[in-house]
C-alpha cells in the first residue's frame, strides 16, 4: 500500500505527495471556473486532471519536487509546489487553493513556506532565484507574492514575472 509522504508543514497547512486516489478532489478543484479563472489553462476536464496528477507523482519520484497536495484541518484545500519556469532555467512556485481557503492568509503562509523549502533544497541545474508567473489582473496573487518576499521582475508571454532574491520584499504597488 502506498503511503503519503509529508513534504512540509506550516501552522495551518500540510503539504504531502499525491496518491492516485486523490483524483476526485483534484478534478473538482480543476473543474471550478472561479478557482481556475487566473490559470492559463482555464477549467480542466477529468482526463486532463488525471494526466496532471500522474505528472505530479512522476515528477516527485524523479526529482523530489513537484506540485504537492495541500491540506488543512478540514481536509483537502488544493495544490502547491514547483515546476520548471518558462524557458528561464528557474524553479517556479505555484499554488491553487479551493475557494473555501481564500481570504484567510493561507496562500501567503504557503508561499512563504515554499520559498523557504526552495532555499533549503537548491536544484543545482537551475538558477537560484525562485520565480512565479501571474496573469495581469490577479491582484490577490501579486499581493501574496509581495508579502512572501518576491518582487516584480518584468513580463513574459503575457504574464507578470515575480522573482525571489536577496534584495528583500518588494514595495507594495497597484497592479493591473
Which pLDDT score, from 0 to 100, does residue 137 have? 92
Which whole number is the average pLDDT over 144-150? 96
DSSP string for residues in 41-99: T-S--HHHHHHHHHHHHHHHHHHS-SEEEEEETTEEEEEEEEEE-TTTSEEEEEEEE-G
Query: Considering the entire predicted model, what is its pTM?
Result: 0.90
- Split at pLDDT 50, 70, 90, the class of 88 is confident
Sign (positive or negative) of CA dihedral 147, 111, 73, 97: positive
Whether residue 156 is predicted with pLDDT greater than 70 in this model: the reply is yes
Whether residue 51 is predicted with pLDDT greater than 90 in this model: the reply is yes
Chain Cα centroid distance, residue 166? 21
Which whole number is the average pLDDT over 38-46? 92
Which whole number is the average pLDDT over 75-103? 94
Ordered by where they begin, the domains of the chain are 6-127 (3.40.630.30)
Question: In this predicted model, which residue has the larger pLDDT, 15 or 3?
Answer: 15
How much is the mean pLDDT over the chain?
Answer: 91
Amino acid at each position: 500500500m502506498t503511503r503519503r509522504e509529508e513534504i512540509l508543514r506550516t501552522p495551518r497547512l500540510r503539504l504531502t505527495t499525491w496518491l492516485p486516489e486523490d483524483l476526485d478532489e483534484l478534478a473538482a478543484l480543476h473543474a471550478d471556473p472561479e478557482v481556475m479563472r487566473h490559470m492559463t489553462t482555464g477549467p480542466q476536464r477529468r482526463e486532463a486532471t488525471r494526466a496532471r496528477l500522474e505528472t505530479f507523482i512522476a515528477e516527485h519520484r524523479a526529482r523530489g519536487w513537484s506540485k504537492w497536495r495541500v491540506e488543512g484541518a478540514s481536509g483537502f484545500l488544493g495544490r502547491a509546489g514547483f515546476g520548471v519556469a518558462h524557458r528561464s532555467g528557474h524553479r517556479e512556485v505555484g499554488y491553487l487553493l479551493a475557494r473555501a481557503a481564500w481570504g484567510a492568509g493561507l496562500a501567503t503562509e504557503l508561499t512563504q513556506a515554499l520559498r523557504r523549502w526552495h532555499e533549503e533544497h537548491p536544484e543545482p541545474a537551475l538558477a537560484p532565484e525562485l520565480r512565479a508567473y501571474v496573469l495581469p489582473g490577479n491582484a490577490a496573487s501579486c499581493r501574496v507574492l509581495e508579502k512572501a518576499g518576491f518582487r516584480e521582475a518584468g513580463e513574459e508571454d503575457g504574464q507578470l514575472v515575480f522573482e525571489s532574491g536577496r534584495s528583500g520584499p518588494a514595495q507594495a504597488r497597484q497592479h493591473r
